[in-house]
């Protein structure tokens, strides 16, 4: 009998936004919170003798679905998320059992996917929930001491379909990329302005600026979310106060002095790599305070910017073939 251990999360690229495709890639996940959004359109008309809304005077109003999925980054398969999170993705030729994928800030239009979550009820029945028209609205990469490299993706969908059907809506059988390994804090290194900088916590949060409420009088079907705002990349580093170099970036009286390259690299145990580079990171905050008889900490944060040429964020992923 299926149990919670038989839950799954699978995805597949769509050729046309909102046209469901059977899941082909499956990811291990720690948590998911995708849920359908259903509203009601109530009548406002006056009817003699009616003091409470009648049961036949409202219309269902499905508004797609949204939610987060939390993942641990593995040494294979995550180029899928780089494409949908960043927009630009170039994959190199296979070499030594690996392919290097380079993700940069690029066009997200025309890139969508179908997701299916297998959830098990308390009778042991596995129920597929299929979500079409998937877009990555926001995402976060994070890593801390004694932890694994994690990716959280905030997703938007055009439609939720509950229960098994045929084709893309059939209950899937998960398969996973073989021999993948995890990235942990033990394989991580950080440089700021070209110099090594020891940290205990890293985060990069991105917002893709999508307009996700594009509904029209067209059978209630949602149109593909489009970019309608500047993307925002917020980074944070937690370390120790090791001199005035970083605080001087925050306090700089000239713009160029407040900007430096931040590169964070994780080496996997199988020869894989995951690297995040922000060549024009602006240092916005970095207070230094004495909080008792403790080593003085230094929490730095800011935005990844562009000069109009360099990508604000470049992610290089050396992954299993």
Q: What values do phi and psi take at 246, rounded to 5?
A: -75, -40
Q: Which among 35, 37, 33, 32 is positioned nearest to 64, based on CA atoms?
A: 37
More confident residue, 28 or 1: 28
Reduced to 3 states (helix: H, G, I; strand: E, B; else coil), residue 199 is strand
CA neighbor of 86 nearest in space, from 28, 181, 158, 153? 153
| pLDDT at residue 195 greater than cutoff 90 | yes
- Non-local (6+) Cβ contacts of 311 within 8 A are 88, 104, 105
pLDDT in tens, 130-142: 999 999 999 999 9
Instruction: Work out the pLDDT band at 39, boundaries 50, 70, 90.
Output: very high
Residue 219 clears pLDDT 90, i.e. is over it: no
Q: From CA 180, how far away is CA 97, in angstroms rounded?
A: 12
Give residue 220's pLDDT: 78
**In residues, how long is the chain?**
321
Residue 218 has pLDDT above 90, yes or no: no
Mean pLDDT score across all residues of the chain: 97
pLDDT of residue 245: 96
- Measuring CA to CA, which residue among 263, 231, 268 is closest to residue 100? 268
Calpha distance 246→259 (Å, rounded): 10
CA 122, chain centre distance (Å)? 30
User: For residue 233, what is the enclosing H or E element?
Assistant: strand 232-240
Residue 277 in this model has a pLDDT that exceeds 90: yes
Indicate whether 1 pLDDT > 90: no
At residue 266, does pLDDT exceed 90? yes
- SS3 string, 263-300, reads EEEEECCCCCEEEEEEEEEEEEECCCCCCCCCCCEEEE
Q: Which two tokens stand for residue 213?
A: 């409420």
Q: How confident is the model at residue 43 (pLDDT cuts 50, 70, 90)?
A: very high
Residues 72-106 pLDDT 10s: 999 999 999 999 999 999 999 999 999 999 999 99
Q: Is the pLDDT of residue 283 over 90?
A: yes
Query: Looking at residue 136, what is its pLDDT?
Result: 98
What pTM, to 2 d.p., does this model score? 0.96
Q: Average pLDDT of 145-171? A: 98
pLDDT tier at 221 (50, 70, 90 boundaries)?
confident
Question: Token pair of 56, please?
Answer: 């036949």
CA distance linking residue 228 with residue 242, whole number of Å: 41
Written as six digits, the tokens of 35 are: 């849920």
Please say if the pLDDT value at position 61 is more than 90. Answer: yes
pLDDT for position 202:
98
Q: Which of 115, 129, 123, 153 is nearest to 2 (CA)?
A: 123
pLDDT range class, residue 69, cuts 50, 70, 90:
very high
């Amino acid at each position: 009998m299926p149990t919670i251990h038989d839950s799954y999360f699978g995805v597949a690229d769509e050729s046309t936004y909102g046209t469901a495709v059977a899941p082909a890639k499956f990811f291990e996940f720690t948590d998911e919170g995708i849920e359908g959004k259903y509203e009601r359109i109530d009548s406002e008309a006056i009817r003699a003798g009616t003091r409470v809304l009648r049961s036949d005077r409202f219309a269902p109003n499905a508004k797609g679905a949204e939610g987060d999925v939390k993942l641990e980054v593995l040494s294979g398969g995550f180029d899928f998320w780089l494409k949908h999170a960043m927009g630009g993705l170039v994959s190199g030729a296979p070499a030594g059992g690996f392919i290097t994928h380079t993700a940069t800030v690029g066009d997200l239009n025309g890139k969508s996917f179908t997701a299916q979550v297998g959830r098990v009820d308390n009778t042991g029945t596995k129920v597929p929930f299929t979500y079409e028209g998937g877009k990555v609205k926001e995402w976060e990469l994070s890593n801390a001491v004694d932890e694994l490299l994690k990716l959280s993706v905030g997703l938007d969908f055009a439609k939720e379909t509950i229960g098994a059907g045929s084709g893309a809506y059939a209950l899937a059988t998960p398969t996973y990329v073989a021999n993948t390994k995890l990235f942990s804090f033990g394989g991580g290194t950080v440089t700021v302005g070209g110099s090594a900088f020891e940290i205990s916590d890293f985060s990069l949060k991105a917002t893709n600026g999508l307009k996700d409420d594009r509904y029209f009088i067209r059978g209630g079907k949602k149109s593909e979310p489009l970019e309608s705002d500047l993307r925002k990349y917020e980074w944070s580093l937690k370390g120790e106060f090791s001199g005035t170099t970083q605080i001087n970036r925050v306090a700089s009286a000239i713009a160029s002095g407040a900007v430096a390259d931040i590169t964070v690299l994780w080496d996997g145990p199988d020869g894989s790599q995951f690297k995040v580079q922000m060549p024009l990171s602006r240092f916005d905050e970095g207070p230094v305070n004495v909080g008792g008889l403790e080593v003085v900490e230094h929490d730095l944060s800011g935005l990844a910017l562009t000069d109009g040429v360099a990508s604000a964020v470049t992610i290089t992923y050396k992954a299993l073939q």
